[in-house]
């Protein structure tokens, strides 16, 4: 988006400043079999999304992916269908989607509901394999999972980037219990692109209304820096308001223009955010830049965030933000999104996005957006390779837990795969890792805070252990990496509750001899 285009846009919108702001599409609400139904008066084929208020954030580390298993098993009831349909499991919801004639949509939803009310777990072993194969594909981008993991560790919202464990260890009884607990009319909503068709029935079991997990994020001192292997990412826990969303959009646009169009360093700047409460969100923005350019990207982020907080957006940037939403409102698909947003508000108990959108359409002020940008700057955690991080920012520990006291293990002279400079401290209470001489731990895993332990069997005598703490620490313990490593693995495994152990899935494995 060049400056000339923005100027023309600003002139165009200024001419329209006396006109009434576009209004959001109306959303209708009714109920079918006790399930709230949200719909709009769209045209064309009927689209439906049967939504349940359960997703990754409701799971535990050891049951990550169990909702996905239920979704796959339920979809087997329509696996031979030749019309457009799909299903997905997200952080806060699971959705069963279909687009076709009213009669076909009605039949599809009936079969999904019947399948969930009497879940057939007999094909569980087949679906385990399907989910394991699905995991071998590309996972979520770093700007999606890193912010949540910083503030939640291996819990709730922080599970978004985790390897799924439930496909390995969950049995049929537990999968059936999970389905009964979450997939019922009390935790469901239906979104339609038109009026409910005649004969629509949703034969779901009864159950109580559920809500998102009430887990407090960690108290992290920010602004700060923390190391990641590659790329540059900015993360923040912020108040999610219309000015904050505008500030993030303007920031990403400025960074894209500077780093791509003016300096030629990146292809694009990714952005994502995840609501964690009624008016709070964790957000991330960044790029997979080459290591030699990381310092320049870090400097650009700091400069642009600071400048936006000082001077706010230009009139053209405010106009572009408003025009972008106005353009979306005019699109046919926006009405369906509004119905979906209303359904999610019903399931979560959180405000819908309509209030934010109305504020944007009426016009935000530069002062409001600048204030939001200053909040973003004050809470920003910059993530990049260690040697490219600014030294004037405090280093964020790899875990909110204090380092475990103990003795330092010595790196094996031959055959170690541990990165040079990595130090491992072994204590009675758990393990800590550090880089170089830094006193700030890279990771802390306490025995009393273990979320799970992946056991990677090898062709050696001892396995590789992948230890995960609830507070976000993770440490891989390979016998061949440390002097006395075999005794160390035996010692650690003796301290671990077997109920926390699982066979390490392929994405977690090192595939190396121990």
What's the number of CA atoms in the CB half-sphere (13 Å) around residue 73? Answer: 26
Give the residue among 278, 170, 158 at the shortest CA–CA distance from 218: 158
Handedness of CA 396, 398, 403, 406 (dihedral sign): negative
Are 362 and 449 contained in the same domain? Answer: no
Are 275 and 366 contained in the same domain? Answer: yes
Are 187 and 252 contained in the same domain? Answer: no
From CA 239, how far away is CA 275, in angstroms rounded?
10
Are 273 and 353 contained in the same domain? Answer: yes
Are 164 and 249 contained in the same domain? Answer: no
322 found inside a domain: yes
Determine the straight-line distance between the first and last CA of the chain, rounded to whole angstroms.
Answer: 53
Q: What is the pTM of this model?
A: 0.92
pLDDT for the residue 415: 87
pLDDT for the residue 44: 87
Q: How many domains does the chain have?
A: 3
458 found inside a domain: yes
Are 384 and 451 contained in the same domain? Answer: no
pLDDT for the residue 53: 98
206 found inside a domain: no
DSSP-derived letter for residue 471 is: T
CB-based burial label for 232 (10 Å; 0-12, 13-18, 19+): buried
CATH number for the domain spanning 492: value is 2.30.29
The runs of H, that is alpha helices, within 183-314 are 242-256, 294-311
210 found inside a domain: no
- CA distances for 188 relative to 46, 69, 96, 136, angstroms: 19, 18, 11, 30
Taking every pair of Cα atoms in the chain, the longest distance, rounded to a whole number of angstroms, is 77
pLDDT for the residue 5: 36
From CA 333, how far away is CA 469, in angstroms rounded?
42
The runs of H, that is alpha helices, within 216-286 are 242-256
63 found inside a domain: yes
pLDDT for the residue 420: 87
Residue 341 backbone phi and psi in degrees, to 5: -60, -40
151 found inside a domain: no
Are 382 and 458 contained in the same domain? Answer: no
Residue 345 host element (H or E): helix 332-348
424 found inside a domain: yes
Rounded to 10 degrees, what is the CA torsion of 283, 362, 39, 76?
-20
Give the residue among 57, 114, 67 at the shortest CA–CA distance from 94: 67
Are 306 and 422 contained in the same domain? Answer: no
From CA 447, how far away is CA 433, in angstroms rounded?
15
- Cα 313 off chain centre by: 28
Residue pair 401/443 in contact by the 8 Å Cβ criterion: no
Total residue count of the chain as it appears in this document: 514
286 found inside a domain: yes
The range of the structural domain enclosing residue 328 comes to 220-332+344-388
State the DSSP string of 23-48. Answer: PPPP-EEEEETTEEEEE----SSEEE
Are 350 and 480 contained in the same domain? Answer: no
Are 369 and 261 contained in the same domain? Answer: yes
DSSP-derived letter for residue 244 is: H
CATH number for the domain spanning 64: value is 3.30.830.10
438-475 core/surface letters (b: 16 or more CB in 10 A; e: else): eeebbbbbbbebbbbbbebebeeebbbbbbbbbbbbbb
Spell out, as residue ranges, where the chain has pLDDT lower than 50. 1-18, 513-514
Vertex 185 angle, CA 183 and 186, to 5°: 95
From CA 360, how far away is CA 326, in angstroms rounded?
9
Domain boundary (174, 192, 210) is at 192
Are 378 and 413 contained in the same domain? Answer: no
Residue pair 190/48 in contact by the 8 Å Cβ criterion: yes
Give the residue among 72, 56, 355, 338 at the shortest CA–CA distance from 212: 56
């Amino acid at each position: 988006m060049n400056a000339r285009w923005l100027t023309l846009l600003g002139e165009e919108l200024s001419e329209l400043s006396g006109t009434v702001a576009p209004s959001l599409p109306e959303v209708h609400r009714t109920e079918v079999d006790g399930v709230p139904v949200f719909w709009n008066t769209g045209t064309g084929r009927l689209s439906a999304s049967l939504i349940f208020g359960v997703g990754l954030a409701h799971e535990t580390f050891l049951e990550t992916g169990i909702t996905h298993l239920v979704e796959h098993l339920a979809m087997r009831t329509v696996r031979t269908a030749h019309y457009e349909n799909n299903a997905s499991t997200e952080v806060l919801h699971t959705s069963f989607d279909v687009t076709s004639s009213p009669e076909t949509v009605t039949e599809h939803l009936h079969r999904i509901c019947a399948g969930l009310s009497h879940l057939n777990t007999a094909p569980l072993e087949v679906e385990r394999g399907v989910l394991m194969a699905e995991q071998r594909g590309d996972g979520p981008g770093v700007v999606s999972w890193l912010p949540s993991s910083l503030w939640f560790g291996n819990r709730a919202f922080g599970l978004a980037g985790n390897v799924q464990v439930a496909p390995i260890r969950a049995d049929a009884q537990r999968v059936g219990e999970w389905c009964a607990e979450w997939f019922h009319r009390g935790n469901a909503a239906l979104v339609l692109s038109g009026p409910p068709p005649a004969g629509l029935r949703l034969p779901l079991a009864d159950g109580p209304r559920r809500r998102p997990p009430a887990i407090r994020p960690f108290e992290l001192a920010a602004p700060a820096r923390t190391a990641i292997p590659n790329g540059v990412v900015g993360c923040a826990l912020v108040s999610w308001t219309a000015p904050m969303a505008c500030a993030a959009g303007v920031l990403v646009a400025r960074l894209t223009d500077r780093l791509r169009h003016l300096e030629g360093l990146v292809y694009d700047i990714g952005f994502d955010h995840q609501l964690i409460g009624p008016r709070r969100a964790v957000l991330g923005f960044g790029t997979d830049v080459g290591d030699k350019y990381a310092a320049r990207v870090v400097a650009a982020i700091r400069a642009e965030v600071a400048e936006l907080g000082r001077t706010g957006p230009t009139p053209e940037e405010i106009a572009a933000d408003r025009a972008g939403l106005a353009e979306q409102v005019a699109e046919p698909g926006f009405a369906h999104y509004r119905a979906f947003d209303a359904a999610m508000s019903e399931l979560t108990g959180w405000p819908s996005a309509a209030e934010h959108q109305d504020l944007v359409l009426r016009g935000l002020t530069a002062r409001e957006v600048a204030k939001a940008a200053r909040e973003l700057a004050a809470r920003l955690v910059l993530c990049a390779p260690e040697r490219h991080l600014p030294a004037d920012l405090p280093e964020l520990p790899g875990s909110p837990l204090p380092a475990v006291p103990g003795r330092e293990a010595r790196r094996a002279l031959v055959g170690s795969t541990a990165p040079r400079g990595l130090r491992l401290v072994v204590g009675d209470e758990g393990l800590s890792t550090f880089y170089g001489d830094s006193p700030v731990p890279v990771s802390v895993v306490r025995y009393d805070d273990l979320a799970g332990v992946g056991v990677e069997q090898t062709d050696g005598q001892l396995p590789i252990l992948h230890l995960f703490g609830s507070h976000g620490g993770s440490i891989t313990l390979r016998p061949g990496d440390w002097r006395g490593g075999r005794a160390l693995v035996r010692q650690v495994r003796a301290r671990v509750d077997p109920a926390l152990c699982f066979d390490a899935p392929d994405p977690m494995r090192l595939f190396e001899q121990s």
